[in-house]
Structure 1
Amino acid sequence: MKLMLFALLGAISLSACAQGPQSGATAAKAPGAQAASAGQAAPAGLAPRAAAGTPEARAIAAVHALNPRVTIEKVNAAPLPGFREVVVQGQVVYVSDDGRYLFLPGPQGALFDATTKQDLSEQTLARIRKDLLKAIPVSERIVFAPPNPKYTVSIFTDVECAYCRKFHSEIAEYNRQGIAVQYLAFPRMGLGSEDHKKMISVWCAPDRKKALTDAKNDRPLPARDCKNTVTMQYDIGQRAGLTGTPMIIAEDGTTVGGYLPPQRLREALDRLAHGGVAAPAGATDPVASTGG
């Protein structure tokens, strides 16, 4: 799952979300709540002071509901009507005046419901990804699957990236964990690159599974060309929001992140199946070109 609020402000983790939002009165009595008035910087480890029942108090409570250990430095009026601007450990998040919604700005921004612990932006994107992936039939994917898989993941992969290779080196264990892997092509060096040509050779090989394994292990790969969907898959990867490979997508369109060891990926999928969050983002190799 994308859920960039795992890395919210570099510190707030959804693994600490069991506690519900506090009331304004509770927030005002939190340790350090008397350190400074809202809008003034608080000493390290403390929170600004805010009167109970105010938007400032609710903003503090909403952030601390996610992680009570972070330092809230300032709470100010926001340029966005109906929100407070909260500075948390040097970064900015916007909290609605009722304390329910948190908006994380930036390229990977998200709108988060602090009450239900859901990334609302990710829910919308997951539906979009699920629809996008329907354009790539299973016949155009390279599939490694156990006899009766518990889960199926779609993975945008590259033959050169280190984390893609690490993932593939453990493919048998992912299958033993009950995970079917359906690989999709994403030559991260861009269209027309040598990387792109290698992936076309893989997709044009009579045995794609062997060709992909050989390519990821630097074994000789005969150059081939044919009518293929590599470029189309690359385009869909871009539209799905890919910024690095591997990109692991669950059946509902949720991104599980990048490389995760087999057991951790199974645990992440188990959590998703029970309505929880997946896991912190795994490791990826960044794409060198998004324009081709």
Structure 2
Amino acid sequence: MEHIPFMKRILIAALGAISLSACAQQAPQSAQAPGAQASSANPAAVTAAKPAAGTPEARAVDAIRQLSPQVTVDKVSAAPLPGFREAIVGGQVVYISDDGKYLFLPGSGGALFDVAARKNLSEATLAGMRVDLLKTIPASERIVFSPPNPKHTVTVFTDVECGYCRKMHSEIAEYNRQGIAVEYLAFPRMGIGSEDHKKMVSVWCAADRKKALTDAKTDKAVKMVDCKNTVSMQYDVGQRAGLTGTPMILTRDGTQVGGYVPPAQLRATLDRLSGEDAKPAAAPAKPATGA
């Protein structure tokens, strides 16, 4: 599972999403003594402790803290990009527009945030593309675990060896009880041609795919077979969809809502994204008793 930088995780969490990588470990926040001053080696740099009010530096710090109030901003300075400040937060470099409206996280999977709207603009663009990509995978190629009348449906790129994929699948009955249908797609994280890939091909070639997937995720024997399959295609779609770790949970509109997310928490997140108040799933009706 790929490690996701601390700053990106906390900003995404602040925007109401879940960590993209269920296996990522929480890194400690950088410590800073009260009133610490900027390094004399970089006169342009200022600490976030007391930036002059009304300056681009102050607006940069305010923008970061709007998204995640608990973080320590170690330094803010002029950026190489005109019209932006450069900040170091939790060991990560971020860029904030001088008016404080936009924040950009560079690097692999970089994202542009609208600070006031608390919206990941890059994610919105990716979401639309993901919907189109998922349409290329036939419904018959998904392994579906669903309640009779699902309230929400998510697509989950999964791997049979990933610990958090296994944890999620061990709770599949509870996801269904929460009214969530799970449509699995294959993402053998060890790559095409690996033993992991061959095992997932065997799952997709099985007569009973649901049983084979459950067996594979619980270390039960799965008959190793080959057939015409779409596992490699699904793997390619996952990469193009911006997958950084398994499991990857996507809503119907292509929004990524995390790696592993507990059933009740996922239901609450899906309710919120659909504009509904989070409501607990109804308890099973008690059987009627005779007179």
Short-chain TM bin: 0.7 to 0.9
Deviation at 1:67, TM superposition (A): 3.0
Partner in structure 2 of residue 147 of structure 1: 148
**SS of 2:156's equivalent?**
strand
Aligned length: 254
Question: Within 5 Å, which residues of 2 pair with 1:63-212?
Answer: 63-212=64-213
Deviation string 1:206-263 (CA, Å, 9 cap, x unpaired) is 1111111111122222222211111111111111121221111111111111111111
- For 1:184, the aligned partner's letter is L
| CA distance, structure 2, for counterparts of residue 13 and residue 209 of structure 1 | 32
- For 2:106, the aligned partner's letter is P
Deviation at 1:275, TM superposition (A): 8.9
**SS of 1:8's equivalent?**
helix
**SS of 2:161's equivalent?**
coil
**SS of 2:175's equivalent?**
helix
- For 1:186, the aligned partner's letter is F
Deviation at 1:170, TM superposition (A): 0.9
Deviation at 1:41, TM superposition (A): 4.7
| CA distance, structure 1, for counterparts of residue 208 and residue 8 of structure 2 | 45
Structure 1 range deviating more: 58-67 or 125-134: 58-67
| CA distance, structure 1, for counterparts of residue 162 and residue 15 of structure 2 | 32
TM-score, normalising length: structure 1: 0.79
- For 1:195, the aligned partner's letter is D
Deviation at 1:111, TM superposition (A): 0.5
Aligned in 2, Cα 1:212/1:59: closer, same or farther, shift over 3 Å?
same
- For 1:193, the aligned partner's letter is S
**SS of 1:108's equivalent?**
coil
Partner in structure 2 of residue 21 of structure 1: none
Partner in structure 1 of residue 7 of structure 2: 8
Aligned in 2, Cα 1:204/1:69: closer, same or farther, shift over 3 Å?
closer
Aligned in 2, Cα 1:41/1:215: closer, same or farther, shift over 3 Å?
same
Aligned in 2, Cα 1:153/1:68: closer, same or farther, shift over 3 Å?
closer
Aligned in 2, Cα 1:225/1:89: closer, same or farther, shift over 3 Å?
closer
The answer to whether 1:56 aligns with 2:63 is no
| CA distance, structure 1, for counterparts of residue 212 and residue 8 of structure 2 | 42
Contact (CA 8 Å) 2:62, 2:100: kept in 1 or not? yes
- For 2:77, the aligned partner's letter is N
Partner in structure 2 of residue 290 of structure 1: none
**SS of 2:129's equivalent?**
helix
Aligned in 2, Cα 1:12/1:159: closer, same or farther, shift over 3 Å?
closer
| CA distance, structure 2, for counterparts of residue 9 and residue 234 of structure 1 | 24
Partner in structure 2 of residue 281 of structure 1: none
% identity of equivalent residues: 65
TM-score, normalising length: structure 2: 0.79
For structure 1, which runs of at least 5 residues remain unmatched after alignment? 18-31, 277-292
Aligned in 2, Cα 1:173/1:124: closer, same or farther, shift over 3 Å?
same
Contact (CA 8 Å) 1:33, 1:48: kept in 2 or not? no
Following superposition, which runs of at least 4 residues in structure 1 exceed 3 angstroms of deviation?
9-17, 32-42
**SS of 1:228's equivalent?**
coil
**SS of 1:132's equivalent?**
helix
Aligned in 2, Cα 1:208/1:81: closer, same or farther, shift over 3 Å?
same
Question: Within 5 Å, which residues of 2 pair with 1:276-291?
Answer: none
Deviation at 1:33, TM superposition (A): 11
